[in-house]
Structure 1
Amino acid sequence: MADNGNKRKVMIAMDGSEYSEGALKWFVKNLYRKNDDDVIVLHVTDHRDSMSYSSPWMPVDPALITLAFQKEEEKAKITIKKLDAIIMDAGLQANVVRAHGNPGEQIVKKSEELGITMIIIASRGLGTIRRTIMGSVSDYVVHHSSIPVIVFRN
């Protein structure tokens, strides 16, 4: 864990969902120290679904894959604007960072690269069976991060 004196370097992983928005609001209300926290809001764009054979795009024209990527990029830009507005409404001083790839892996990787001291992440509360089949980003982060992780469940 990086030590910046009394400063905490907090990462809030946000996907634009109401769950991640709840995690950010909980952080601001309960943990945020305006003068002592450097806050990074991380948004990860995951293009894997567009490239997999389970995707409706893959067996068709490669131009459709490009179109799917473009649509995901547009969606990500809209999400980033939404995150900026949420951050401003919450009175939070934060920087938005964007990554591409597997969300769990990217959250852990970026936290290490940026010297983060704490991760805040939301959980959607999928059931045991669905989580076992699909995996869980928050579960991955909890088990692979070397720093404290707070999982917010609304």
Structure 2
Amino acid sequence: MAATEEERTVLIAQDGSEYSDYAFDWYMDNIHKTNDKVILLHTPEYHNVVASPMVMADVSVLTDMWKDEEKRVKQLLETLGSKLKSRGIGGKVKSVGGQPGEVICKVAKDEEVSLIVTGTRGLGTIRRTFIGSVSDYVIHHAHVPVLVARHKDHHHHHHGHHNH
């Protein structure tokens, strides 16, 4: 399939946090071109639910948690989808469970994307290693350029805006 110069597919990795919105907005502000197709990829963290020991004892609790999670994911996907529509962007929204790094690389290959954008969270040590390791994994394994939209976290206070 010979694509024209201007047409490219961009994969934006979403995890449903405010930081993944940041990745999307960053993409829109900095690198969006009119003919871009965007794939918003959400990698749900089901494994967190399953890994918590207290849950294993009671299957009904687990099913409820899954149901909640699925509802949340469905809402998120609808939000993401309407975000694309409202900005008039062609593309699609996918939700694929698994190790986020692997999932991102696999979808990027399957969809023949030319660029991957992933957000990073600035807060929380555990989350930082999680998101950090996902970005690192993707950077090392992806077959295309990876842009990490770094969120300006609490280290960058703007002075002078707040009147106390």
Report 1:1-154 matches (<5 A): 4-6=3-5, 7-35=7-35, 37-52=36-51, 54-58=52-56, 60-126=57-123, 131-132=128-129, 136-154=133-151
C-alpha contact 1:23 1:122 (8 A) present in aligned 2:
yes
Identity across matched positions, percent: 39
Give the alignment's TM-score, normalised by structure 2.
0.78
Deviations 1:32-66 (A, max 9, x none): 1112x2211111122112222x34312x2122222
Which sections of structure 1, spanning at least 5 residues, go unmatched?
A: none
Measure, in 2, the Cα distance between the counterparts of 1:128 and 1:63.
31
Which sections of structure 2, spanning at least 5 residues, go unmatched?
A: 152-164
Work out which structure has the larger RCO, using CA pairs closer than 8 Å and 6 or more positions apart in sequence: 1
Measure, in 2, the Cα distance between the counterparts of 1:45 and 1:66.
16
Decide which structure has the larger Cα Rg and report it: 2
Q: Show structure 1 runs of 4+ deviating over 2 A.
A: 2-5, 84-94, 125-136
Change (3 A) 1:3 1:42: farther
Secondary structure, aligned partner of 2:108: helix
Secondary structure, aligned partner of 1:101: coil
C-alpha contact 1:13 1:42 (8 A) present in aligned 2:
yes
Measure, in 2, the Cα distance between the counterparts of 1:39 and 1:46.
22
Measure, in 2, the Cα distance between the counterparts of 1:48 and 1:152.
25
Secondary structure, aligned partner of 2:43: strand
Deviations 1:64-103 (A, max 9, x none): 2222211111110111122123334444332112211121
Measure, in 2, the Cα distance between the counterparts of 1:133 and 1:141.
12
Give the alignment's TM-score, normalised by structure 1.
0.83
